[in-house]
Structure 1
């Protein structure tokens, strides 16, 4: 299929699929999808990946929540489960880039292609350009998917588009779709599959550390599947090999289903990003624990950090309260802390209201604030396409209100950890600066020194150019989610 002559022939064929045959938006007729089309077989891993992609596209489902159950229901394990995961996550991460390639190969805007057909094409393009799947298998199985959902006419269109895509390499397609980019940010967005507003936010966050030259490495890390990291709840379980480099509680998976390890440990070992472990441990390590301290996890769902704090509170003779406004997530918090033999009261209130009801009540507070989640794009593959820059001001306002309220619930001499899974400056340093501007009773501790003290090894944490004491973790630099940490101490 290689060569310029073949590409020319394919470029002429691709646009011939007609919208009235099931490829146009709104034409969901299954004309041509008779028994023969519907009976075409599709390998189970591809079927699972496609169903997850469709649910994300059509129903705003979350892939990381849906995929494990879909794999289990399909009876997939080992290489088949790994393939379904790579196909679903890889396709969703690269959605914007693949849409640009499909539009070029089809000779039409992707908005004119029926969503079920478009999602199948996205999956096929990922197999052709982003995996080692044999091209004939990628094309044939994708065509079968389309035939089963939209009929033979649409499958012919899909076949032509995929043959056009297969005629070029991934790098050739990237060169083709970026040649008309209007700015360097747009070029990076197409090449690394990030919306332009996220590119700009990440560049500014890196520039605040004098590390703007790391942008492409960060974007590449967002597109790489993260390693599975587990936490051994301190005092209740011991970390195994291979150990992770920084958090003393963290270790890596030896392969296979980590759920089996969690089940065998009865929840005292659980899956948790190393960055999440580090920011919780920093709150614990900010000063020695005095027996009888009272702690609060203000926005606790889904409960991973809560469980780690509960284990540390148990060891130090402290108590722990938790709060999560969403009832379903509050249920997850209760489940997370159940293996820890420490009573944890889990409230279901607006965090601002709960904090206002308990002035000066807590020695330590973790505020893991709701945010855009830009720090976890590698594990939440569809998130980059759902959020927009318009979401940031509303979230920042909420973060400021939660932080101000949480400081009111802090005892004199107490410590608060303000945490976000986002490096966006408007959600991180700007929130802290805004809230502290009107307070002379709160000071920022050096979070980088605290992280270095709790870390097993030296950790690269450059000082922000602003002189702030906060710390920022990064996937490309630390292998963690991009967690932000500011440690605040109330005078007294």
Structure 2
């Protein structure tokens, strides 16, 4: 699986296991963590070599990765939300946390390809395996094929993990299967899997661990936004690279000094941003207080673009009245926090709308570093705002719910979760939210339509439909506005007046931006 970020977290790559004893089995009962009876097989060893020396407990870092994969598979959880809590629960230090992060994300990213390899090594269909066994195998495969972990350590520690949390019988199966996997390198396995295959989509799907429908969708998206279909492999490879953590200092409120002193480097695309060297960012005071935030630079750029559009002078408002801004789909609050800080600088106020009460609380927390007289949070359906408050806002950001195809590198499990049906199901909601935003903006104001997806069904098609149905709208040059808010050196993200950012070109999430002005 080319470009899987195999060296990421490799400071722990030559390790056999953690030097600390945390994270082993919590009890000596005959049942495992899921309440199933442990297998009391009469198998005496995992291998023919020195069975008494085999590891019989779970290394904490590998245990964290296993728990993340289990939560993703059994609870439909998001890895990026589960992983930090499991790292804290097991008390991992920076080195072990990096190892657990690469192992978790790498196993999830490569799942499709790894399952194809495992299917050649298991004597039954994979769907007949206990899901916990399959997750342990995926963890083992990633160590063997994509991390700098010696084969003996990968085998020993994965078998020890299985023995501790699944049972002795399954651990023997895992040992036997992983030995077959270790007979070839990743490149050798990929060559075996694609041997005789002529379909380029299937080949790319296997080599870059993306479902075939996403490979086709990404190729279509490249062409739709003015790029070459020949870039598809570079794009898929970028999806598999471990993303660098992006930071933003809220304008006029935050500072990057503390982050830079702790190893971060200045961002190259937008003012007030930085690239983190990793570690526990919660230890930074500015991050804890919320004036410095973790936010992909693509999100930073589209928020700044909305705030930067020149709306011209206002003659229909009282003297001294500032602009009113609206973030229509604000949860969990990252863009809202940046918009709140920008609104403060420009003498504007911000209404942040979020339909889910628990996410509305997250929005309030995200905005807590911004003076409270600048912002307000509304809990309600964004589709109703345009009717309830027509032509009331100068600027509206509508970052609609989408497939998330532009953030596959940050949410590695999403590629195996999403289906083409999601695009069809989300379309009506995206159009309704954009309609509400256009109704809510005043004549002369601007709506920023944003998605974290490059798929034309979620981007240009939605915008085109809106423009076709009304004669009071005009499309602004979003690429030019993005160039204006970025650091010197044009992004080159514009095409046909809209803009599309790309992981393999800009090292951002694949954010789409359209700027629509309501004619005065």
TM-score under structure 1 length normalisation:
0.90
Q: SS where residue 508 of structure 2 aligns?
A: coil
Q: Secondary structure at the match of 1:425?
A: coil
Identify if the C-alpha distance between structure 1 residues 33 and 53 changes in structure 2 by more than 3 Å, giving closer, same or farther.
Answer: farther
Distance in structure 2 (CA, Å) of the matches to 1:310 and 1:358: 20
Runs of 4+ more than 6 Å apart: 36-39
* Equivalent in 242, 253, 269 of residue 292 of structure 2: 269
Partner of 1:16: none
- Give, in whole Å, the separation in 1 of the partners of 2:191 and 2:427: 37
Structure 2: how far apart are the matches of 1:82 and 1:274?
22
Alignment match of 2:39 (pick from 21, 27, 31)? 31
Q: Is the 8 A contact 1:276 1:483 kept in 2?
A: yes
**How far, CA to CA, are the matches of 1:321 and 1:59 in structure 2?**
33
Residue among 219, 229, 235 paired with 2:236: 219
2:144 maps to 128
Q: Secondary structure of 1:390's match? A: helix
- TM-superposed CA distance for 1:251, in Å, is 1.0
CA shift for structure 1 position 182: 6.2
Does residue 316 (structure 1) correspond to residue 349 (structure 2)? The answer is: no
Assess, with a 3 A threshold, how the Cα gap between structure 1 residues 280 and 223 changes in structure 2: closer, same or farther. Answer: same
Aligned to 1:158: 174
Cα offset, 1:265, TM superposition: 6.1
Alpha-carbon contact 1:124-1:142 (below 8 Å) kept: yes
Q: How far does residue 149 in structure 1 lie from its aligned partner after superposition?
A: 3.8
> Residue 458 of structure 1 aligns with which residue?
489
Residues 126-171 of structure 1 show CA distances to partners (whole Å, capped at 9, x for unaligned) of 0001100111111111112222344333222111110111110010
1:284 equivalent in structure 2: 307
RMSD over aligned Cα, in angstroms?
A: 2.1
The answer on whether the counterparts of 1:39 and 1:148 sit within 8 Å (CA) in structure 2 is no
For these two proteins, the number of residue pairs brought into alignment is 463
The Cα of 1:280 is off from its aligned counterpart by 0.1
Matches within 5 A, 1:208-247: 208=224, 209-240=226-257, 241=260, 242-247=265-270
**Residue pairs, 1:35-54, within 5 angstroms:** 40-54=56-70
Match of 1:202 in 2: 218
Summarize the alignment of residues 76-225 of structure 1 with structure 2, pairs less than 5 Å apart: 76-179=92-195, 181=197, 183-208=199-224, 209-225=226-242
Identify unmatched segments of 5+ residues in structure 2: 1-34, 46-53, 314-320
Cα distance in structure 1, aligned partners of 2:183 and 2:295: 41
Runs of 5+ in structure 1 lacking a partner? 1-26
State the Cα distance separating 1:33 from its structure 2 match: 6.8
Is the 1:364–1:410 Cα contact (8 Å) retained in structure 2? yes
- Displacement of 1:342 in angstroms is 3.6
- Inter-CA distance 142–210: structure 2 relative to 1 (3 Å threshold): same
Structure showing the higher helix proportion among its residues: 1
Query: What's the secondary structure of 1:471's corresponding residue?
Result: strand
Secondary structure of 2:289 counterpart: coil
